Amino acid sequence: MGRDAFRQALADACPPREGAIGYVCTYTPEELILAAGLHPVRLFPPGGPTGPADAYLQSFCCSFARGCLDAALRGRWDGLAGVVFPYTCDSLRAVSELWRCHLPTRHHLFLNLPVRVEGIAALAYAAREFERFRQWLEMVAGATVGTDALHAAVRLVGAVRERLAGSSLLGREFLEVAMGAQVMDRFTAAELLEGLAPKTPPPRPGVGVLLAGGALEDPAILDVFEEAGAGVVGDDLCVGSRYAVLGAAWGDSPPGGPVVALARAYLERVPCPTRHPPERRLQHLLARIAQRQARGVVFLLQKFCDSHAFDLPYLRSELSLRGIPSLLLEVEQGALARGQALTRLEAFLEIIGS
């Protein structure tokens, strides 16, 4: 029952309620949105072929970014009160600009996050941007964002993240729930997440794989894995577990105030490849593999995603030095080239199973 609610939320895309704020990347501090009494909705484009956006974007823009603009132009998110684009990559930055030019969304904010996540200058700067975000939200909501509300929001999102991180769901089921939770009302999400038991049987021993990569459109992409007989035992995806691992919790009076503490938490999380320096990323990936006892890693790369593509040769060679096999599959329009992916996955399983 509970799972259907998440699936439904994902399909609905934009909850029919006031004060919905769309955002495109997990670097958006959704705690602030909630503290303003607004509703954070992560934007997942539907996948599949695009239409209207092709008039504005050339073929070498990744289909996730393109899909966001396309769905917006088709009216998928017409109900949003505002949209936030945190700085992540060159393509989404361009989509943010095009959204501003070609869509009538009332409020638009480019949250100018730093690329650097270490050092005092970056923290000071990020905190100022968070503060600017807070003021923007106050303007959109017509209400102030108080400290108590922020503490409550941090607790709420903390509960959602914690329950996701501790969930025993796997594969497509987990991804559906994780993605759904980023769209639906967070109270409901926190409640429903409690007591969600897995339906899929645990994977056959020896063929458990970990998924790694960036953004994805549709959890259905994991069906191929099931078809191939690959158990997905965990992920390091920005739409999945990476959303769950941010630890934003602090005592009653953190130094610098709660907004600074929030900024620090976001900078200290596992960096995605759009952030510098990158070293902690490999450590995190290795930890996930160990923790989930995965036998191999499947990288899902959005075609044309520069940030992830640059890291791949390095990550894969580090894994291989440690005897961990990996496979690369390219995602386009929210899907894998089915026939080809199936063959490659099966061959990969033969390798890791033996």
Partner 1 sequence: MMPAIGLDIGSMTTKAVVVEGASVRARVMIPTGSVPRRAAGQAYREALRQAGLQGEPPAVVTGYGRLDVPFAARRVTEITCHAVGARFLFPEARTVVDVGGQDSKVIRLSTDGRVLDFVMNDRCAAGTGRFLEVMAAALGLSLEELGPASARATRELTISSLCTVFAESEVISNLAAGEAREDIVAALHRAIARRVHGLASRVGLEPEVVFTGGVALNAGVVRELERLVGRRLLVPAEPQFTGALGAALLAETGGTP
Partner 2 sequence: MGRVTGRLKVDGRLKHLLVAHYRDAYLARRLRRPLAWVSSGAPVELLHAMGIFPVYPENYAAVCASRRMAVELAEAAEAAGYSPDLCSYARTSIGSMLAQRGPLNGLPLPAPDLLFAASNICGVVVKWWEVAARHFRVPLFILDVPFLAERLTPHQVEYVRRQLEEAVAFFGRHAGRRLSSRSLSRVLRLSAEAVRLWNEVQLMRRAVPSPISALDTFTNLFPMVTLRGTRACVGYLRGLHREVAGRVARGEGPVREERYRLVWDNIAIWYAFGFMRYFTERGASFVGETYTWAWGEYEFGPDDLRDPLGSLATQYSRVILNVDLGQRLDRLLRMVEGQRADGVVFHSCRSCKTYSLGQLTLAREVQSRLGVPTLVLEADMADARAWAEQSARTRVDAFLELLEGRRKG
Q: Which of residues 117-146 bind partner 2 (CB under 8 A)?
A: 119, 121-122, 124-125, 128-129, 132
Closest to 28 (Cα-Cα) out of 279, 238, 191: 238
Contact between 112 and partner 2 by CB under 8 A: the answer reads yes
* Residues 43-82: x where in contact with partner 1 by CB under 8 A, - otherwise, as a string: -----xxxxx-xx---x-----------------------
| Residue 338, contacted partner among partner 2, partner 1, none, CB below 5-8 A by kind | partner 1
| Residue 74, contacted partner among partner 1, partner 2, none, CB below 5-8 A by kind | none
Query: Amino acid letter at 20?
Result: A
CA dist., res. 95 & res. 98, Å (int)? 5
Q: Which of residues 324-343 bind partner 2 (CB under 8 A)?
A: none
| Residue 119, contacted partner among partner 1, partner 2, none, CB below 5-8 A by kind | partner 2
Taking CB under 8 A as the criterion, the residue among 191, 223, 226, 306 binding partner 2 is 306
Taking CB under 8 A as the criterion, the residue among 93, 332, 346, 353 binding partner 1 is 332
CA dist., res. 231 & res. 168, Å (int)? 13
E strands present in 6-74: 20-23, 39-42
CA dist., res. 254 & res. 259, Å (int)? 9
Q: Name the minimum Å distance from CB 72 to partner 1.
A: 15
Q: Please tell me what DSSP assigns to residue 254.
A: -
* 112 versus 200: smaller Cβ distance to partner 2: 112
Q: Which of residues 276-295 bind partner 2 (CB under 8 A)?
A: 276-278
* 7 versus 128: smaller Cβ distance to partner 2: 128
Q: What is the DSSP string of 93-154?
A: HHHHHHHHHH---SEEEEE---SB-SSHHHHHHHHHHHHHHHHHHHHHHTS---HHHHHHHH
CA dist., res. 255 & res. 15, Å (int)? 36
Interface contacts to partner 1, rule CB under 8 A: 48-52, 54-55, 59, 332-333, 335, 337-340
